[in-house]
Structure formats: structure tokens, C-alpha cells
Chain A
Amino acid sequence: SAVISQKPSRDICQRGTSLTIQCQVDSQVTMMFWYRQQPGQSLTLIATANQGSEATYESGFVIDKFPISRPNLTFSTLTVSNMSPEDSSIYLCSVGGGTSYEQYFGPGTRLTVT
């Protein structure tokens, strides 16, 4: 399985600002995913980020709010823009690919918006 790191591990941000979260993988992967885990809730997929194409967003998530970059096969960023307290969550990236359908998750970024 891939080893995934995320930066920052946690942050406290003010309302109206933006935060960019980085996801680094130790091997080349085709598919990367970004999830949100709100307090006490399950994981919700934000978008799928494939290298060389635009990210695909799930219903309820838009590019202006959550822009994603995927410059190469080992790295991706998710930006949470114009933050509000409702954006306080854990944001996780995951990777999957090849012939296998499972995904492997990073440690997450715990975001608190005040």
C-alpha cells in the first residue's frame, strides 16, 4: 500500500481566509480523492483528482470553493476558500488505482475555522 502524507496536520483559521492542504504519495498513482469528515460524521467525497485532467466534483461541492490541483502523479492540493465555521472538518486525501478498487488514506488535516 502507498504511504501518504498530508500537510498541515491541523490548522486554526479565521473566517474568510483560505487554506491549501497538500497530499504527497510515495509512489505514482493515477487516482487521488479528497474527502471531508465533519465532526461526528462519516466521510463524504469532495472530488476525484486525476493527473492531466480537471477534478471531478461531487454534488454539493464546487470548484470555486474547493479548487484542486494535481500537477503530477505523486502530489495534489486541496484549497478550502473563503472559509466559514461550517468548513471545520477533517480533510483527507486517498489514493487508489491499478486494478484494485481499494483506497488508502492519508492521516488527514484537522481544520478549525473561527
Chain B
Amino acid sequence: AQSVSQHNHHVILSEAASLELGCNYSYGGTVNLFWYVQYPGQHLQLLLKYFSGDPLVKGIKGFEAEFIKSKFSFNLRKPSVQWSDTAEYFCAVNARPGSARQLTFGSGTQLTVLP
């Protein structure tokens, strides 16, 4: 079974700082990769996704992530964070092939951006 690791539990940054959140997964086959965000008081939203093709994917609100297959990683980046990016970020994996489409989530990273 696949597992997902997010090593940063809580990250505190000042506005305009650059962000990189780590995500590693353990599965030797083909995977679909996702980053979800949960803003305070709101429900989970899809930030970006990778299925195939260009390993650098761009999402909403200026976020991007890079899939590095050799490192089993899918790190989330943003060049300049804003106070409104304060939220919890979850990395998730779906292993292919198969009809099962369950997502396995990492433990989440709480990002606090100081104004």
C-alpha cells in the first residue's frame, strides 16, 4: 500500500518569502499526485494535480509543484507567499493502475504567513 510523508508539520514564513513544502510517497508504480489546501474554516480544495507529461505543474494562486520520479517526490512551491496563503496543505497520492481511485493523504503541513 502506498504512503505519503510530509516532513514539515508547521512552517512559519513572512510575506514575500519563498515556500517549498516537501512531499514524498512510497509506491513503485505509476501514481497520480495532488496537493490540496484547507483555508481556515473552509473545506478542502484542489490546488494542483499531476497525472502525466510535464513534471512541473502549475496550480491556482501561483502555486506549482515538481514531480521527481527518481526521488518519489512532489514538492509544492510558491516564489512569494501572501498572508492569505495561511492554510493547511495536504499532499495526496492515488496509485495506478486499477479501478480503485482512493487517495492516500499525507499528514498535512500548517503554513502560517506573517504579515
Residues of chain A at the chain B interface (Cβ within 8 Å): 1, 31, 33, 41-45, 48, 58, 92, 94, 96-97, 101-108
Contacts and interface: CB of A to CB of B under 8 A. Distances in A.
A104 B100 contact: no
Contacts of B45: 105
A45 B108 CA distance: 15
Nearest to B102: A45
B43 A108 contact: yes
Contacts of A45: 102-104
Contacts, number: 50
Give the 9 A-B CB pairs with smallest separation, nearest first: A105-B44, A107-B43, A101-B32, A43-B105, A42-B105, A42-B107, A101-B94, A96-B101, A42-B108
A1 B47 CA distance: 13
Interface in B15-71: 32, 34, 36, 42-46, 49, 51
